[in-house]
Structure 1
Amino acid sequence: MSFRLAACAEMIYGELPLVERVRRIHAQGFEVELWDTRNRDIPALVATGARFSSMSGYFGGSLIDPDGSDRVVESAEKLIPTALELGVGRMVVHPAELGADGAAVRPLHRSSGQMWMTGLRALERLGSLGERHGVVFVLENLNTVLDHPGIPLARAKDTQALVSAADHPNVRMMLDLYHAQIGEGNLIELVRGALPWIGEVQVADVPGRCEPGTGEINYGAVAKALAGTGYSGVVGLEAAASGGAGPEAGDNALAAFRNAFTVSRGTYYRPNVRTKIDKRDVSHHDQ
């Protein structure tokens, strides 16, 4: 069983310009995740030759707000040309509008039936938009305990319910296991239950939001459980390097991520390339 591995260029190699981060991630065989692509040098990013896994799919509005859901869809449509230029397959949306610090722009701590229905209708519209242009919109779960207070319908069970109700092939979950660990736990059962709706998986360890092996999550067991379900899509590292900002710290973080998600002994699959891993690079739980 193999996964396609990606790394978020917004959170690793932070001391380097974005294009250099992308080059470095690509050179090590990983796909690249991006956040906001506005005001970025898109031709320079394309010229790196990297394969881009996902990017932010909207830049305003709230999926669950009747007055804001139109803005989500409208902004998503404006980003489609950038996604197509980069070759991005998945565009990420959230249940509600996030501020610069990740908190809710308009904090709400209870969900309502109107929020559910508004979110569902907005996802259906995004599904139709994605179908027309050949992209998938992925709804990301968030934790409201630490990083994103005031976001209703943010837990994985809620995002799964919304995605499954939309029931559209161009609407899936961005299952973020860092957020799920903080808000829900029971990750292995979560990935098994969510499998039909997963478009991509994101990971980081808890606490600290750094690479696997720096916290409490047994990502080796999670990787084996994912493989056991038959999942062979993208697993993206959305994490900072625990060793700091230098290039060596970033390299080490990517190596730890690769090791955690190397399920079949001795072999690591990159996009279109199959290479052998030195046994020194295989973590102890795979030996």
Structure 2
Amino acid sequence: MSFTLAVCAEMVFADLPLLERIEHIHEAGFAVEIWGWTDKDAAALAATGAAFTSMTGYVAGDLITPDGADELVRTAAASIAFAQEIGCPSLNLHGTGLGEGGLPLRPVEVVTGDMWLAARRTLGRIAELGERHGVTFVLENLNTEVDHPGTPFARAADTLALVSAVDSPHLRMNLDLYHAQIGEGNLVELIRRSVPHLGEVQVADVPGRCEPGTGEVRWPFVARALVDAGYDGVVAMEAFASGDSHLALERFRQVFTIDPQQGCRP
């Protein structure tokens, strides 16, 4: 069993233009992830030869208001067209649109029962859209303590509940373990509960959001837990480099490269 290892090009090789970042990641043997697509050239991205595993799957909208839901579905459809140009099979969603600094455009203090039902309906529409076009949307958990205060449906428990309620292969969970460590902890049990619904796993250490091995999380143990739970999909480093970006990528690779006899490298 092995993971597909990917690196978010938005966060490493920060002194280089995006296309050069992608080329470095690709040459190092990793797949690539990007965030928003509206300021990017699909043909130029595709010409790098990189494999793209994930990108932001909407431009605007939210899960809970009628107009916001319509806007989310409309811009998700536009995102699919870009994703297909670069061969990206997975499109990322959040509980609401995020603006400058990752802050929610529509912060929510209390999530009501009606909001849960509205989110379920909106995500059902998104899953149907994904099915029609042969792509998968993934709903990412976030943390509200440090990075994204006021974001509804932010906890991993929330995204898991919504994804399992829709119950479609075209809507999966993006389990971001950086956000989960800050907001919930208990990562191994969270992995075990989430694995039937996972479409992707993202990692960064805590505190600091840098590569694995720079913070408090015991990443070899977490990697082994993913293997033991039966996960063999994408693991993406959505993290800043604590120093040299090449070294950060190698630290990530070491932790999540699996020895079939011994499990994860220590």
Smaller-chain TM-score range? Answer: over 0.9
Residue 34 of structure 1 aligns with an amino acid whose one-letter code is I
Identity of aligned residues (%): 55
CA contact (8 A) 1:55 1:83 kept: yes
Q: How far, CA to CA, are the matches of 2:265 and 2:104 in structure 1?
A: 41
Q: How far, CA to CA, are the matches of 1:29 and 1:267 in structure 2?
A: 23
Per the alignment, residue 258 of structure 2 pairs with: 263
Q: How far, CA to CA, are the matches of 1:154 and 1:4 in structure 2?
A: 25
What's the offset of the Cα at 1:65? 2.5
Per the alignment, residue 227 of structure 1 pairs with: 227
Per the alignment, residue 58 of structure 2 pairs with: 58
What's the offset of the Cα at 1:153? 1.3
Per the alignment, residue 251 of structure 1 pairs with: 246
The within-5 A match list for 1:105-184 is: 105-184=105-184
Per the alignment, residue 265 of structure 2 pairs with: 286
Matched, 1:211 2:211: yes
Per the alignment, residue 271 of structure 1 pairs with: none
Q: How far, CA to CA, are the matches of 1:42 and 1:90 in structure 2?
A: 15
| Secondary structure, aligned partner of 2:74 | helix
TM-score, normalization by structure 2: 0.97
Per the alignment, residue 273 of structure 1 pairs with: none
Q: How far, CA to CA, are the matches of 2:192 and 2:109 in structure 1?
A: 28
| Secondary structure, aligned partner of 1:26 | helix
What's the offset of the Cα at 1:63? 1.4
Q: Deviations over 1:181-237 (max 9, x none)?
A: 000000011011100110000000000000000000111100001011111100000
C-alpha change, 1:9 and 1:88, in structure 2 (3 Å) is: same
What's the offset of the Cα at 1:267? 10
Q: How far, CA to CA, are the matches of 2:85 and 2:146 in structure 1?
A: 35
Which stretches of structure 1, 4 residues or longer, exceed 3 Å deviation after superposition? 265-268
Q: Deviations over 1:248-275 (max 9, x none)?
A: x11000000001112317999xxxxxxx
Q: How far, CA to CA, are the matches of 2:179 and 2:136 in structure 1?
A: 21
| Secondary structure, aligned partner of 1:67 | helix
What's the offset of the Cα at 1:39? 2.3
| Secondary structure, aligned partner of 2:20 | helix
Q: How far, CA to CA, are the matches of 2:17 and 2:105 in structure 1?
A: 29
Q: How far, CA to CA, are the matches of 1:265 and 1:90 in structure 2?
A: 27
Q: How far, CA to CA, are the matches of 2:111 and 2:67 in structure 1?
A: 16
Per the alignment, residue 278 of structure 1 pairs with: none
Q: How far, CA to CA, are the matches of 1:134 and 1:123 in structure 2?
A: 16
Q: How far, CA to CA, are the matches of 1:136 and 1:286 in structure 2?
A: 31
* More divergent stretch after superposition (193-202 vs 106-115): 106-115
| Secondary structure, aligned partner of 2:191 | helix
Gaps of 5+ in 2: none
> What is the number of equivalent residue pairs in this alignment?
266
Q: How far, CA to CA, are the matches of 1:95 and 1:66 in structure 2?
A: 14
Q: Deviations over 1:122-176 (max 9, x none)?
A: 1111111111111100000000000000012110000000000001110000100
| Secondary structure, aligned partner of 1:235 | strand
CA contact (8 A) 1:63 1:97 kept: no
CA contact (8 A) 1:54 1:88 kept: yes
CA contact (8 A) 1:265 1:286 kept: no
TM-score, normalization by structure 1: 0.90
| Secondary structure, aligned partner of 1:175 | strand
Per the alignment, residue 34 of structure 2 pairs with: 34
